[in-house]
Amino acid sequence: MKPINDQKSLAWPAPAKLNLFLHINNQRADGYHELQTLFQFIDHCDWLDFKVTHNSNLVLHSNMAGVVADSDNLILRAAKSLQQYTQCQLGAEIWLDKQLPMGGGIGGGSSDAATTLVALNHLWQTQLSQAELAKIGLSLGADVPIFINAHAAFAEGVGEKLIAVEPQQLYYLVIVPDAHVSTAKIFAEPELPRNTPKLDLQTLMQNPWQNDCQKLVCNYYPQVAKALAWLVEYAPSRMTGTGACVFGEFVQQKDALAALAQLPPEMQGFVAQGLNISPLAVRLAQG
């Protein structure tokens, strides 16, 4: 084994994702929902730096006051899970540059956890396979394996069955409403549609896309409804995940930027490109 490099390892991306569609097919007896959804990454990321330590301590620093560095933090839980799974005696100091909104439905926490697993597996030289990392990731959250697999994917079941896909890599104007949507609350609501018929992938890719959570979220969170009503005037637009972020699709970056320039001052947003290969996979390949 090569000696462990205890220099700081910089600029590991934790990219956001969009659910290009989200269909809720039914609710199982155990309470979990079966769904069909299409995940694509975008080039808008949190950034993590790591420094390997020669004790088992795990320390997290963050630029955002809302990120609490305690035992419930997904980044620290991911690192601890990797330690326990591999019996690794090393530790890490971790720096998080938080850029992605929390509670926005674009996967910030799950992506941070996935990047932590992938980066520390590399830096600690624990040599787990992608499938083993995804198994650990699934114990942390349903979306974590998508970020570990690092390829745009069609997901079904409760989100664990993944098929790599190649949707068009469009430009998106993403609006971030001032709302923190609870996924658990939305999936617990009796009014949530739970009967969208399951379709095969080819049919889904050719049909118009929708988000079965969108109407319910808009009813509860007027900020989301307002953002969507504004955005849909410029481009085909939907909500991602269980919200709160909404996105409009543009073929040309300049058109997305032109719409962003018209964004009302009370709204926040950004332009990003859809990516079928995650920036995390590119960073890992760089070593």
Angle at the Cα of 176 from the Cα atoms of 21 and 158, rounded to 5 degrees: 35
Which residue among the candidates 46, 98, 112, 143 is catalytic per the annotation? 143
Other C-beta atoms closer than 10 Å to the C-beta of 153 total 21
Residue 273 to residue 42: CA distance in whole angstroms = 5
Residue 239 to residue 79: CA distance in whole angstroms = 31
Nearest to 239 by CA among 256, 227, 253, 255: 227
Residue 37 to residue 162: CA distance in whole angstroms = 10
What is the distance, to the nearest Å, from the Cα of residue 261 to the centroid of all Cα atoms in its chain? 26
Backbone angles phi, psi at 265, to 5 degrees: -60, -25
Tokens of 54: 């020669």
Which residue among the candidates 8, 17, 30, 198 is catalytic per the annotation? 17
Strands 91-97 and 58-62, sheet pairing: parallel
Instruction: Say whether 17 is catalytic.
Output: yes
Q: Between the CA of residue 103 and those of 108, 178, 179, what are the distances in Å?
A: 8, 10, 8
Collapse the DSSP code of 125 into the 3-class scheme (helix H, G, I; strand E, B; otherwise coil) and give the result: coil
Tell me which residues are annotated as active site: 17, 143
